[in-house]
A and B are shown apart, each in its own frame.
Chain A
């Protein structure tokens, strides 16, 4: 009859499994990832303080497939964080019209549009 003892007072994925919660997860995870990436980005650009050749050699290092893939991922995260953030600003500062699902769809669409544009322009 009895199953193991456990903690009663925790929401699990069943309570959280709805679109706006997933939007929050994406927004938070992308925010953390972008914040961690920024110092690296600034360091890379600052390579040009030691001349164009130095920056160029770093850029050639980023041509490796795995680095390239992470860069595409970061651009997608940036687009997702921007689109999700605009959705939050709309909810918090524009009149409420029960249109959260539309905003979510628009945010997701914008993210994919930027991702697609990037992929089409990569050579």
Chain B
């Protein structure tokens, strides 16, 4: 196991400025990095294609997104990629970096580069639109298929629902509510590769937060939607999703909860 496995995960709490995280992630960059060159292989094409090689100057506190941006602005303007916020909030810049799915905006080159080498490709398990851009439609279609939308009964004339923050169900919601839908877990999941109809860790995590939402009234349909061979019971607990989640969430834990809840419903004949 290399040192990159020890990379600290981004804190899930809001309000932490990016620079707070930048310092522990950038060891020994000031001495020599300005003289060094990064050799970057970048995926070009769609489902089939090839890697193009680029040489990019190495800089202090450089992120993988900085590298991709440098290539597009200075070396090859035809390169396509996607990003928006640059600070780990929007979830649009996820790519495969040296074989692992990551947010490129919050990944420092010094943490992932193998020597001076980087390999950057599109996310796995999704159709490739062009180069580093994937079509996220199948990913979000599965959120809809997992009944990932809140269904309540209150109107504007009702008061606020009172949900005690310390109640067990509210605490379970807390554990997965921070998901921003970046697709890193979905891309890392082998079951998605093997069963293209599998809903995947993100959609199931969303369903799990709603299963624990005491205000929601669509539970029966939701449990039926996430049941069986294309749902939570296909999960083999590889924990690749939990291993790679940039927010440090555990989709595996939520999926295990769904497995139990759905089995209980099936035994009671409520499915």
Identify which of residues 82-111 in chain B touch chain A, using a CB-to-CB cut-off of 8 Å.
96, 98-101
Interface of chain B, main secondary structure:
mixed
B128 touches A100 (CB 8 A): no
- Cβ of A103 to closest chain B Cβ, rounded Å: 10
Could you say which of B46, B47, B52, B239 contacts A100, with CB atoms under 8 Å apart? B239
* A20 and B48 alpha carbons, distance in the complex (Å): 30
* A9 and B170 alpha carbons, distance in the complex (Å): 37
Chain B residues with a Cβ closer than 8 Å to the other chain, count: 43
A74 at the interface (CB under 8 A from B): no
B209 at the interface (CB under 8 A from A): no
Residues of B within 8 A of A18 (CB): 5, 239-240, 243
A121 at the interface (CB under 8 A from B): no
In the complex, identify which listed stretch (B30-38, B119-127, B139-147, B159-167) lies at the interface while the others stay far away: B119-127
A63 at the interface (CB under 8 A from B): no
A-B contact count (CB 8 A): 93
Q: Mark A13-34, 1 if CB is under 8 A from B, else 0.
A: 1111010110010000000000
A8 touches B193 (CB 8 A): no
Q: How large is the interface on A (under 10, 10 to 19, 20 to 34, 35 or more residues)?
A: 20 to 34
Rank and list the top 8 A-B pairs by shortest CB-CB distance, nearest first.
A14-B99, A96-B253, A20-B239, A92-B256, A11-B124, A5-B50, A18-B243, A3-B51
Q: Which residues of A contact B (CB under 8 A)?
A: 1-16, 18, 20-21, 24, 88, 91-93, 96, 98, 100
Q: Which residues of B contact A (CB under 8 A)?
A: 5, 41, 43, 45-53, 96, 98-101, 121-122, 124-128, 187-188, 190, 193, 236-240, 242-244, 250, 252-253, 256-257, 259-260
